[in-house]
Structure 1
Amino acid sequence: MNAPPTVDLVTAHSDSDVVRWLVNDTRDERFLDNIFGEMCIRLQRGGIPVTRATLHVLIHHPQWLGGRILWTDGMREAELTRVDYDVRERAEYIGSPADEIHDGATEVRENLERDPSLGRQHAVYNEMRAKGLTDYVAWPLYHTLGKRHIVTFATNRPGGFDDAHIACLLNMLPVLALVSEIRVKNRLARTLLETYVGSHASELILAGATRRGTGTTVSAAIMICDLRDFTKISDNWPRDNVIDLLNRYFDAMSEPIVRHGGEILKFIGDGLLAIFPLRQPSACVNLLHAVSEARQAMVALNEKDSETGRAPLNYGIGIHVGDVMYGNIGSRARLDFTVIGPAVNMASRLETLTKQLGRTVLLSRAFADFVKDDFELERVGEHPVRGFNDPIELFAYHG
């Protein structure tokens, strides 16, 4: 299939140009898909007949395993798609080039011009033949500590890639590995921080706010939610069932919070703490919209659980508004990025009072004043709140 080996000075020069560009001119580019797309265009301009290329990276995000970056001839920007955790159980993966590479292959090369019955049998090869591609190659892309990702190239050149083309692509791979590893690890660090401390806190930490005691004062609406009778559930249910229940409960509560602009700062056992910063003028209204949607999600969750004989889950939500200290608190070696202050304590006390007063959602008067024109609230009177000198006027929300 390949032409006889020749020294292609133009191709060799383009190879060194692309390598030089990867080393020297991508340091200010944050996104790997942009780098990969530009790299393919530069390869093509330099005489290496790349028509299609993909880069498969493992990220281990909580919701998806990794991503696939696809570039094809004529695209100005590469396309990034997420890859689900169950991909390795699907027909699209089993027997694919990615499957072979993950099983240890150091190269997968397929002549797409020959009789399909003589080659590898997988839908991806038929798809490439249908698009006029003639040659395909896939290699592992090695990162440090044994991490392996995948890069592939295909061409529509009659006769496929020649030996000089393959040599240039192989010569480029170590540099692409270094450049991609930096971006993958940056994305992984960002993902881990967003997963465990939230999007806003993660941005501050990545910007260097890691010193103990550093912080700022934030005006925010504060929401604290807690599950009722969780001790009884955790004592009597199998462990895996308890974890599944908590995950579904937190999904029901958390997704509306994030959707409406709130930030979940922490999960505390069966409870959560979230804030809606008042720099967003509609923060308090957004918080109650989130509560409404969360309550609807909990109704749906309880209806589904009732089909298996499980008792409905009950919960309480305390809501207040005020200034909080937002920053790093903890020991010298172990810090927590969180909020503290009287306003947080008030929200916590109101959550505790929901059970005593028989209401699911309790609001302070301070918070109610922000939303009373937009929502129907029930005044439940003034009540003493532990830790505060004067009784607090409280309102219930049933939406």
Structure 2
Amino acid sequence: MTQDNSESVITQSDGDVVDWLTNHTRDERFLDNIFAQMCVRLQRAGIPVKRATLHLLIHHPQWLGARILWADGKREADIARVDYDVRERSEYIGSPANEIHDGAAEIRENLERDPSLGRRHAVYDEMRAQGLTDYVAWPLYHTLGKRHIVTFATDRRGGFDDAHIAGLQKLLPVLALVSEIRMKNRLARTLLETYVGSHAGELILAGATRRGSGTTVRAAIMICDLRDFTKISDNWPRDDVIDLLNGYFDAVSDPIVRHGGEILKFMGDGLLAIFPLSEPQACANLLHAVTDARKAMTALNEKNGEAGRTPLNFGIGVHVGDVMYGNIGSRARLDFTVIGPAVNMASRLEALTKQLGRPVLLSRAFADHVAGAFELDRVGEHSVRGFSEPIELFAYDG
């Protein structure tokens, strides 16, 4: 077969890959699956791809980005998260990603030649060790100037030829569109999970966006508040206050999520969370979360003490009851939250923790759900602001 015929076959086949990306991926939700399928189709089209990566900058509170890696013989791609501090590490400095982010329009590296004559970076040594012969990386342009990266490598003797490179380049605009759609969908989901919680986020994505829409949920309600925060914020540097708050919220929030709770909002130095009673062990899970949070706070205070910081303390009020769970707010600005007398009761109990000197106060209604399973200390009946009858309270020191 002549070179011209080879190029003709490749051009026709890579057109099939472009058509597949354009017209037959609309029902595929996950970008890593699309990317893996695309690489397999490229091989069938005569483009000898043996390794490919997609490097994406994402909006996430913990991660700068993600890398999708496909290798020959794999039906699925591997996904690795990338830390925010990666750009200070040797794995990034001098890498193809570094060059692309600095403005390079293409990185091409002949991996067959003497390594001393080419670019010097560990990633090239790794690919040579895998028997790869040629490598190419391009920016993947999304709207508003956002640049991501796609790379391809082969083990073909002599590397990619001109027809292979042309076929890969033909994919880039369509891959950019397909990947941007999935990224924006993932971004929307991530932002909702970050700011309103996973359950509320799912409801909003499903269309629960009308003001006043919602449902009645029976749940255990937990309100937590940091003690003496006003004094801390008045006397400490701003960055120290933010760092302290983040540490405190990590200590309290992680156990809540781990034990099945839903954090609905952070309120300055406090938080509101619910454990829906549709889960039979919801109330027990809440107390397990409290136990773990107290342990985490003890560890945090030990760490803060080494830095000369004052120990932190919190108060928690817990009640159980029916709450209205849904959209509340103005015409243009909504909050997906819970309201109702049960929420008010939890808030009042949290305030009483200061007066009674017990960090965790539970209502009798909640205590009845965990009777016998946890050691609770009855602290008597107490008047609660906004409620006509005294409330029997229990303290939990677990």
TM-score, scaled to structure 2: 0.98
Deviations 1:144-175 (A, max 9, x none): 00000000000000011010010000011100
Measured in 1, the distance between the counterparts of 2:168 and 2:187 equals 27
Deviations 1:240-261 (A, max 9, x none): 1111110000000000000000
The question of whether the paired residues in 2 share the 8 Å contact of 1:5 and 1:163 is answered with no
Deviations 1:115-167 (A, max 9, x none): 11110011111110111000000000000000000000000000110100100
The question of whether the paired residues in 2 share the 8 Å contact of 1:68 and 1:82 is answered with yes
Report matched runs for 1:1-399 at 5 Å: 8-399=7-398
Measured in 2, the distance between the counterparts of 1:374 and 1:27 equals 50
Deviations 1:183-208 (A, max 9, x none): 01111111111100000011011111
Q: What is the CA-CA distance between 1:178 and the residue it aligns to?
A: 0.3
Give the number of equivalent residue pairs. 397
The question of whether the paired residues in 2 share the 8 Å contact of 1:4 and 1:163 is answered with no
Residue 252 of structure 1: SS of its match in structure 2? helix
Residue 203 of structure 1: SS of its match in structure 2? helix
AA of the residue aligned to 1:383: H
Residue 126 of structure 2: SS of its match in structure 1? helix
AA of the residue aligned to 1:321: V
AA of the residue aligned to 1:201: A
Measured in 1, the distance between the counterparts of 2:169 and 2:335 equals 45
Measured in 2, the distance between the counterparts of 1:346 and 1:100 equals 57
Measured in 2, the distance between the counterparts of 1:83 and 1:315 equals 33
AA of the residue aligned to 1:175: V
Q: What is the CA-CA distance between 1:4 and the residue it aligns to?
A: 7.2
The question of whether the paired residues in 2 share the 8 Å contact of 1:108 and 1:138 is answered with yes
Residue 127 of structure 2: SS of its match in structure 1? helix
Deviations 1:57-76 (A, max 9, x none): 11121000111000000001
**CA RMSD, aligned part only?**
1.1
Q: Give the percent of matched residue pairs that are identical in Structure 1 and Structure 2.
A: 82
Measured in 1, the distance between the counterparts of 2:4 and 2:105 equals 22
Measured in 2, the distance between the counterparts of 1:266 and 1:345 equals 15
The question of whether the paired residues in 2 share the 8 Å contact of 1:362 and 1:396 is answered with yes
Q: What is the CA-CA distance between 1:9 and the residue it aligns to?
A: 2.0
Measured in 1, the distance between the counterparts of 2:158 and 2:320 equals 70
Q: What is the CA-CA distance between 1:39 and the residue it aligns to?
A: 0.3
AA of the residue aligned to 1:351: E
Deviations 1:252-288 (A, max 9, x none): 0000000000010000010000000111110000000
Measured in 1, the distance between the counterparts of 2:163 and 2:68 equals 25
TM-score, scaled to structure 1: 0.98
AA of the residue aligned to 2:12: H
Cα distance, 1:100–1:4 mapped onto 2, change above 3 Å:
farther
Q: What is the CA-CA distance between 1:322 and the residue it aligns to?
A: 0.6
Measured in 1, the distance between the counterparts of 2:3 and 2:98 equals 31
AA of the residue aligned to 1:346: M
Measured in 1, the distance between the counterparts of 2:134 and 2:313 equals 60
Deviations 1:376-399 (A, max 9, x none): 000011111111111111000000
AA of the residue aligned to 1:290: A
Q: What is the CA-CA distance between 1:374 and the residue it aligns to?
A: 1.1
Residue 200 of structure 2: SS of its match in structure 1? helix
Residue 318 of structure 1: SS of its match in structure 2? strand
Measured in 2, the distance between the counterparts of 1:110 and 1:178 equals 27
Measured in 2, the distance between the counterparts of 1:79 and 1:267 equals 34
Measured in 2, the distance between the counterparts of 1:372 and 1:197 equals 32
AA of the residue aligned to 2:31: L
Over 4 Å off, 4+ runs: 3-7
AA of the residue aligned to 2:33: N
Q: What is the CA-CA distance between 1:6 and the residue it aligns to?
A: 6.8
- List gaps (5 residues or longer) in structure 1: none
- List gaps (5 residues or longer) in structure 2: none
AA of the residue aligned to 1:155: T
The question of whether the paired residues in 2 share the 8 Å contact of 1:222 and 1:273 is answered with yes
The question of whether the paired residues in 2 share the 8 Å contact of 1:53 and 1:71 is answered with yes
Measured in 2, the distance between the counterparts of 1:314 and 1:20 equals 60
Q: What is the CA-CA distance between 1:5 and the residue it aligns to?
A: 7.3
The question of whether the paired residues in 2 share the 8 Å contact of 1:5 and 1:164 is answered with no
